[in-house]
Amino acid sequence: MFTLPAEIADIASQNKAVVYDLLFRAASETMMTIAADPKHLGARVGITAVLHTWGSALTHHPHIHMIVPGGGISLDGQRWVSSRPAFLLPVRVLGSLFRRLFLARLLELHAAGRLQFFGKQASLADAQLFQRHLASVRKKPWIAYAKPPFAGPAAVLAYLSRYTHRVAISNRRLIALDASGVTFRFKDYRRDGAERYRTMTLTTDEFIRRFLLHVLPRGFHRIRHYGLLASGTRRDNLARARELLAAPPTPPAAPDATLEPSDHRPPCPCCGGRMIIIETFERCSQPRAPPAPPRSAGRATS
């Protein structure tokens, strides 16, 4: 995971498309550069990256989640290079390079006039003040975090699917909506144990403001693939990886497997699960009311 510090997140909030794109490019280049270094892995890796912009309390917290295989194809393409058990790349080295690449290109965007500033940030349009604003983040460590999967490929795919379809807050975290505002559960990562799970009440307009912070620009792709998994060469790269790993060939699909889907029910637009058909009625007609409860024996009605 690659995370932007708060000083940069403030800039990103007014320049979403440009800064989020830079976050993708800097994070992916960092991962592929360190992985290709013979001092570390010495291989070309594949990356699936997912953008998240929120913290648990709906604050603006841009970060990239990545799924990376535990190894890659050697730089000469002749062998598969596996990573060490439960270790892929040093996170301090990743964080240092990520900081350098991101800040250098952020300055290029500023010099090219591609960043806009409003309100309290209007002064950052000046080049010297912008440099001064970035001076503090040059000295602090940038967070790059990595951990091995808890289980096998099925668990990794389940983890990835949850992140690709997640929104800023799920319905299960909402507790109440009343005159005082919106109450919801959140995690306070500065605390440990049971105290980490807390509740917060925001006024309705503040809740809406925080939620809308995480609406992406139109047409922006929040899931991207790099390296061995890049779209243009993915099929060839995966075939070569399977060959180097001596993996069994993928069984061919049944001839009629794609002719007719086994489940005709449409997916739910919210969660993606299959919807359940409760009733079907003719066009322009009203659905029937629910059946009346049976009358109890001996009860009089008027």
Share of the chain above pLDDT 90, in %: 62
User: Which phi and psi (to 5°) does residue 156 adopt?
Assistant: -65, -45
pTM: predicted TM-score of the whole model, two decimal places:
0.79
- Please count the other Cβ atoms lying within 10 Å of the Cβ belonging to residue 42: 14
Q: Whole-angstrom Cα distance, residue 188 to residue 198?
A: 7
**Selection from 115, 152, 162, 147 nearest residue 134 by Cα:** 115
For 121-164, the pLDDT digits (tens) are 999 999 999 999 999 899 899 989 888 877 777 777 777 777 67
Q: Whole-angstrom Cα distance, residue 51 to residue 61?
A: 10
More confident residue, 286 or 143: 143
Q: Whole-angstrom Cα distance, residue 107 to residue 247?
A: 46
Lowest mean pLDDT among 7-16, 105-114, 281-290: 281-290
Residue 300, pLDDT score: 46
Is pLDDT above 70 for 261?
no
Q: Give the model's confidence band at 284: pLDDT under 50 very low, under 70 low, under 90 confident, else very high.
A: low
Check residue 218 and report its DSSP letter: T
3-state class (DSSP) for residue 137? helix
More confident residue, 30 or 272: 30
